[in-house]
Structures are given as structure tokens and as C-alpha cells.
Amino acid sequence: MIHIIGTSHRTQYWNNKLRQGKSGTEACAVTVGRFEGYLRDTATSLNAAIIAEELSKQCVDRFNGGSPASVAKVVAEELGLRHAYCNPNDEECIAWGVGERPEDREPIWIARIQPFSPNETSIIFVCGAEHSVSFQSLLERNSLHARIHCQDWTKTPAAQLSEDEINEWRRQALGDLFKRD
């Protein structure tokens, strides 16, 4: 069974600056940390054998600038599970004529999880929330058992920051901006 977890792409990355609260991006370490905890708890409760994700290794390396780690990969390693990046890299996109539309990439994700016997294995698939419904539908059309475990984690109460947390994050982010000048 494939358990789909949709989220915002900005909650899918860890890097050293973010962990230290020094990132000027839209992501905040508290939110990413909460998503990591959610993914860890979900993988444990679903007895997952594999955590797969929409990202490619190339994308993670590019975004994280030298300290690459996706939340899914970190959790998979901590729990001793297999991990799979399923998105095509730039060279594959060019070679296969793949664009940015979900219908172009989602069949590739299926091909990349197929070797794991998805109907007999508990697999978590993390993707952008906008893919949750369309990916589940495509999986089912391909005779693969799938359910949406969470359509958009960022809309859950666990993802919501308190006003104090938001202000602290803004203070840190703005402080870092002034230090760079």
C-alpha cells in the first residue's frame, strides 16, 4: 500500500542554516522539525519499509548548497528504512522530454516505486500537496493500492506556528539579513 503525504516543498528540506535558525528562506526550522516528527511517527505507525519522495537527489543538492538532506531521507535513515528519490533529474527530463506538469512526472514516480512491490509493501510517498489527488488516481488506474494519508500536511494544526514562534522566526531571519550587509 502506498500512503501519500502531501506537503509544501519548503518543509521537505533540511540544511545546516535552517537547523541553526539562520535561514533567510520561507521555511522555518520549527515547521520542518514538526514535519520530520510527523513523518517519523507516521512511518512507524504504518510499519513502512520505504519512504519515497517526489524530489530528486540533484534538486536536494542544489537547494541545500553543500549540506544536502531531505526530511524523508533523514527519517528513513534514522528508522533504518529504504529511501527513494523519484523525480527525474535535469538530464533525464531533457532526455525524456519531461516538463513541469504533474502528468509528465507522476508516471516516472510510479516506475521508480514499482520495484518495491508497492501492493505488498508499506510505502510512504511524500510529494507536493498539489499532487496528492492526481497521484493517487494515477496509482489506482495502474492497479496499485494507494490512499491519501494526509492531503496537505501544512494545513494541519501541527504545522501551524503560534504567533510567538512566527515572531521569533522573523526576528532571526531579519537579524541574519542585516548581518549579511
Instruction: Express each pLDDT in 60-81 by its tens digit.
Output: 777 665 555 788 999 999 999 9
Of 54 and 166, the one with more pLDDT: 54
Domain encompassing residue 113: 2-180
d(CA 86, CA 20): 28
Q: Is residue 154 within 8 Å of 129, Cβ to Cβ?
A: yes
Please check whether residue 122 is in contact with residue 46, taking contact to mean a CB–CB distance below 8 angstroms. Answer: yes
Q: What is the pLDDT of residue 69?
A: 76
Tell me the average pLDDT across 7-21.
61
**Total domains, the chain:** 1
DSSP 3-state of 156: coil
- CA gap 145, 113 in Å, rounded: 12
- pLDDT at position 159 is 80
pLDDT number for residue 38: 93
Going by C-alpha positions, the residue among 7, 14, 9 that lies closest to residue 42 is 7
**Would the pLDDT of 24 be above 60?**
no
C-alpha cell at 58: 540533484
Tell me the pTM. 0.83
| Better-predicted residue by pLDDT, 168 or 128 | 128
For residue 178, the model assigns a pLDDT of 47
